[in-house]
Amino acid sequence: MPDPAITRRRFLAATAALAAAPAVLPRGARAQTPVKIGTAVLGDYSMAGPVIVALERGFFKDEGLAADFVPFRGGPDLLKAVMAGEILVGITGSTDILVFREAGSPVKMIATHTEGNHFTLNVAADVGKVADLKGKAIGVTRVGATTWIFARMLAKKEGWNPDKDVQVVGLGGLDAQLAALARKEIAAYVWGDGGAVTELQGKSKVLLRLDAVTPKWISQIQYASEDGIRRQADAIRKAQRAMFRGLKLMRDTPKEAAAICSKKLGWTPEAVLGAHKISGPLLPVDGRINVEALAAIQETLLDHGLIKKKLPLEEHFTRDFTPVKI
């Protein structure tokens, strides 16, 4: 009969060996590397909202994706991350894709993220009309950005020289615009639907919707690197389905979407609903790309010297990912 002490020692030794051995997980159970969705800024409901809603409601998980949301401090910083493979899908202003591609960046537009023009001109309390801005400074995110173009288009519509009759100042994010407005360094600034939020907060007032100065337009787009499109097309489609479910929830139940996005954006639900009044009607159903609007954007960029030549419009986007079906 075996010695009980020896049997016990062998049992304990075997148990210790098993405990020390690396765990072998079943296939598919290993931790998934999250795909990252980046936005050019945070303080824009139609830009960031669909990503926030999709994360909070588990729409990425429904697609079998782990996902992270990464807001940036402008389109160029986002582009660097997309090009480096750190961000799978970038969401930015529509003008960026044309400027980036002319500069040689191998990226392509994959869907419309916000249709039309959702930008606003926000002004100080003592500004009553656009004419009051002559000789004053208007804040924009950066020189060459969509906000910069709109400020110059507004000046031209008024019959002003945009290089002499107004000063268009690149300041960065929304907080920087508000700080400069409070210090009276600028009399106005151009922003997206977040402009309605600052009006509700009593920090500025919306003087004008800037769709009054633009032709057909696309406010925001989704894009990816050409390498990402080749290598991760399936993940891109899954991420898009999740975000377009987010867009649908924003369209169908804005109060629910406002409650979801409020904390991440740092706005009250009422303020988010203020932003929704501006951009809600422009949230796309399936992301299809309006080529006529893209042509108008290209002409505008040529007029303002931001691109030097026309490239065939079909080179700037792919139809492989639209219409997005959810």
Closest residue by Cα to residue 47 from 124, 146, 121 = 146
Same domain, 131 and 161: yes
Same domain, 75 and 110: yes
pLDDT band at 31 (very low <50, low <70, confident <90, very high): low
Same domain, 84 and 128: no
CA distance 16 to 21: 9
DSSP 26: P
Same domain, 88 and 142: no
Give the strand pairing for 35-39 and 89-93.
parallel
User: In which element (H, E) is residue 323 found?
Assistant: none
3-state secondary structure of 38: strand
Angle subtended at Cα 84 by Cα 80 and Cα 90, rounded to the nearest 5 degrees? 60
Same domain, 62 and 148: no
Over residues 101-159, the pLDDT tens digits come to: 999 999 999 999 999 999 999 999 999 999 999 999 999 998 988 999 999 999 999 99
Structure tokens at 184: 């009276």
CA distance 171 to 29: 46
Closest residue by Cα to residue 268 from 186, 202, 213 = 202
Closest residue by Cα to residue 283 from 321, 253, 309 = 253
Same domain, 184 and 259: no
Report if residue 110 sits inside a domain: yes
Over residues 247-292, the pLDDT tens digits come to: 999 999 999 999 999 999 999 999 999 999 999 999 999 999 999 9
Report if residue 69 sits inside a domain: yes
Over residues 161-184, the pLDDT tens digits come to: 999 999 999 998 899 999 999 999
Report if residue 292 sits inside a domain: yes
Report if residue 22 sits inside a domain: no
Of 152, 179, 212, the domain-final residue = 212
CA distance 252 to 256: 9
pLDDT band at 215 (very low <50, low <70, confident <90, very high): confident
CA distance 40 to 250: 20
Q: CATH number of the domain that 55 lies in?
A: 3.40.190.10
Same domain, 130 and 144: yes
Per-residue model confidence (pLDDT) at position 256: 98
Tell me the average pLDDT across 187-195.
95
Of 212, 242, 267, the domain-final residue = 212
Range of the domain at 146: 120-212
Same domain, 197 and 140: yes
Report if residue 2 sits inside a domain: no
Whole-Å CA distances, 231 to 49, 82, 124, 136: 27, 14, 48, 49
Per-residue model confidence (pLDDT) at position 32: 77
Three-state SS string over 46-110 comes to HHHHHHHHHHHCCHHHHCCCCEEEEECCCHHHHHHHHHCCCCCEEEEEHHHHHHHHHCCCCEEEE
Query: In the beta sheet, which residues pair with residue 24?
Result: none
Same domain, 86 and 227: yes
Q: Tell me how far apart the 2 most distant CA atoms of the chain are, in Å.
A: 106
Give the total number of structural domains in the chain: 2
Per-residue model confidence (pLDDT) at position 182: 97
How many CA atoms within 13 Å lie on the side-chain side of 243?
A: 36
Of 154, 185, 212, the domain-final residue = 212
pTM for this prediction? 0.87
Per-residue model confidence (pLDDT) at position 44: 95
Same domain, 197 and 135: yes
